[in-house]
């Protein structure tokens, strides 16, 4: 199968070099989005067949496979820039593909602004969730090019940035780029953009020269909003950092924080390791707004929060973790570890902190968290590592416990 993929802009009367015109004249089957069809219809040969590119794409590709003729596909801008050519290559790795690209939308916007773009980080939110965009913000990227869709609009993007304190960018929005009849390029503050409606299609560039210093490695405990003002309901900063070290997060992909309370561990992880997918669980409903407020206070978007009893929570649709921190368990540490065990990736780790209180030990027959952890490791055949023992000021000693699958 041979597929010729031609990039076009929104210009109602596109200009093509002679080689492309020859392809159009000899073509019999053409394909593209509905907008592409409107633009190209006057230039197609008489009797040409058109196949709309709509989701699901499998149905479109099935039509291609039934053809005796080659297919000429139209795409926006550069077909290899988050475009249909990449999908075609994945579908038919051995297919013959000929490309005739033009400038992509972000290039055109940069051209209109006379803005160098060699240092621009590109994020696509077209049919994609927020993580890559959130990571670019957390990593304090000075120039971000964003491909939008009807859900991730310039106004919703601006509002998300304002919610999490990234208010020091200027937003440049281009709509209908390439169409001289309705193209528009505007520069706005994020406050203005959040209250502006833009026509579709559009794209945007975020730029700043006022990036503040990075958050410290070890967020101050005093800056967190606490649960009912209770100072003991937060993993203290030195313990938090030792916990992160034990979790060995640089090479991990998915982190689960079970019993997040204030969200201090999840937020620290999100800021220091923004490549991670962070999923946070907590049984107390009042902690949902608490972690949201703390996340916004520290500029940590993208934490996936789940409220309810972890042992009753359906985790089937969640990404499986390769690092798990159990910050609160209500005496059910073994049960939680048993639920996590089949889900955690091979080589993944579980970390928890055990407070040793001689007074409590003398007054109760309950097993300590350290004992429960040890029993769970034996029962689940987890490799228990040497614990770290630490005491802060007048607080009870703490053991940082770790095991691997």
The CATH number that applies at residue 110 is 3.30.950.10
- DSSP for 274-316 reads TTSEEEEEES-THHHHHHHHHHHHHT----EEEES-GGG---T
Task: Express as a percent the part of the chain with pLDDT over 90.
Answer: 87
Band of residue 358 on the pLDDT scale cut at 50, 70, 90? low
Is the pLDDT assigned to residue 66 strictly greater than 50? Answer: yes
Pick the closest to residue 206 from 149, 137, 151, 153 (CA basis): 137
Task: Give this prediction's pTM.
Answer: 0.91
In a domain, 146, yes or no: yes
Q: Which of 74, 102, 130 is the last residue of a domain?
A: 102
Query: Is the peptide bond prior to 115 cis by the omega test (within 30 degrees of 0)?
Result: no
Least confident of 10-24, 211-225, 342-356, 359-373: 359-373
DSSP character at residue 366:
P
Q: What is the pLDDT of residues 292-340, one digit of tens each?
A: 999 999 999 999 999 999 999 999 999 999 999 999 898 899 999 999 9
Q: Which of 207, 240, 259 is the last residue of a domain?
A: 207
pLDDT at residue number 397: 85
Q: 146 and 67 in one domain?
A: no
pLDDT at residue number 70: 94
Q: Which two tokens stand for residue 107?
A: 């290039």
**Please, what is the average pLDDT of the chain?**
94
pLDDT at residue number 357: 60
Q: 294 and 174 in one domain?
A: no
Cα separation, 158 vs 163, in Å, equals 9
Provide the number of structural domains found in the chain.
Answer: 3
Which residues fall within 8 angstroms of residue 30, CB to CB, at 6 or more apart?
40, 44, 48, 49, 50, 51, 71, 72, 73, 74
Q: 117 and 93 in one domain?
A: no
Q: 296 and 152 in one domain?
A: no
**Average pLDDT estimate for 44-66:** 95
Least confident of 12-26, 150-164, 369-383, 390-404: 390-404
Q: 113 and 22 in one domain?
A: no
Q: What values do phi and psi take at 52, rounded to 5?
A: -70, 135
Classify 401 as helix, strand or coil. strand
Least confident of 66-70, 163-167, 231-235: 231-235
Q: 379 and 261 in one domain?
A: yes
Pick the closest to residue 36 from 54, 21, 63, 60 (CA basis): 54
In a domain, 213, yes or no: no
Give the largest CA-CA distance in the chain. Answer: 92
Q: Which of 146, 181, 207 is the last residue of a domain?
A: 207
Beta-bridge partner residues of 278: 255
**Domain containing residue 137:** 106-207
- DSSP for 113-142 reads HT---TTPEEEE-TT--SHHHHHHHHTT-S
Q: 194 and 340 in one domain?
A: no
In a domain, 311, yes or no: yes
Count CB neighbours of 394 within 10 A. Answer: 5
Count CA atoms within 13 Å of residue 188 on its CB side: 20
pLDDT at residue number 51: 97
Q: 291 and 391 in one domain?
A: yes
Classify 8 as helix, strand or coil. strand
Cα separation, 27 vs 20, in Å, equals 11
Q: 395 and 350 in one domain?
A: yes
């Amino acid at each position: 199968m041979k597929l010729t993929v031609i990039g076009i802009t929104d210009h109602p009367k596109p200009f093509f070099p002679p080689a492309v015109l020859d392809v159009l004249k000899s073509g019999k089957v053409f394909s593209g989005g509905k907008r592409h069809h409107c633009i190209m219809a006057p230039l197609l040969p008489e009797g040409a067949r058109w196949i709309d590119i709509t989701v699901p794409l499998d149905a479109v590709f099935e039509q291609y496979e039934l053809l005796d003729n080659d297919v000429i596909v139209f795409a926006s801008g550069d077909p290899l820039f988050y475009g249909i050519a990449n999908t075609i290559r994945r579908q038919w790795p051995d297919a013959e593909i000929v490309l005739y690209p033009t400038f992509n939308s972000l290039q055109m916007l940069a051209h209109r602004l006379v803005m160098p773009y060699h240092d621009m980080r590109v994020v696509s939110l077209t049919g994609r969730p927020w993580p890559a965009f959130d990571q670019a913000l957390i990593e304090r990227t000075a120039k971000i090019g964003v491909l939008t869709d009807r859900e991730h609009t310039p106004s919703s993007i601006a509002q998300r940035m304002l919610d999490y304190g990234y208010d020091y960018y200027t937003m440049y929005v281009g709509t209908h780029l390439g169409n001289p009849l309705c193209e528009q390029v505007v520069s706005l503050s994020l406050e203005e953009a959040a209250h502006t409606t833009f026509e579709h299609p559009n794209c945007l560039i975020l730029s700043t020269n006022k990036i503040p210093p990075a958050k410290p490695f070890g967020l101050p405990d005093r800056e967190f909003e606490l649960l009912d003002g209770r100072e003991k309901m937060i993993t203290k900063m030195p313990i938090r950092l030792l916990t992160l070290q034990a979790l060995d997060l640089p090479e991990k992909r998915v982190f689960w924080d079970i019993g997040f309370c204030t969200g201090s561990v999840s937020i620290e992880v999100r800021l220091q390791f923004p490549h991670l997918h962070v999923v946070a669980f907590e049984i107390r409903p009042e902690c949902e707004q608490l972690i949201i407020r703390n996340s916004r206070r520290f500029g940590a978007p993208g934490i996936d929060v789940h409220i309810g009893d972890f042992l009753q929570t359906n985790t089937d649709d969640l990404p499986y973790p390769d690092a798990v921190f159990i910050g609160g368990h209500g005496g059910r540490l073994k049960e939680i570890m048993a639920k996590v065990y089949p889900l955690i990736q091979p080589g993944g780790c579980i970390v928890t902190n055990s407070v040793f209180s001689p007074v409590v030990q003398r007054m109760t027959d309950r097993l300590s968290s350290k004992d429960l952890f040890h029993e769970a490791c034996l029962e689940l055949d987890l490799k228990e590592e040497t614990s770290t023992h630490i005491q802060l000021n007048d607080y009870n000693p703490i053991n940082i416990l770790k095991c691997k699958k």
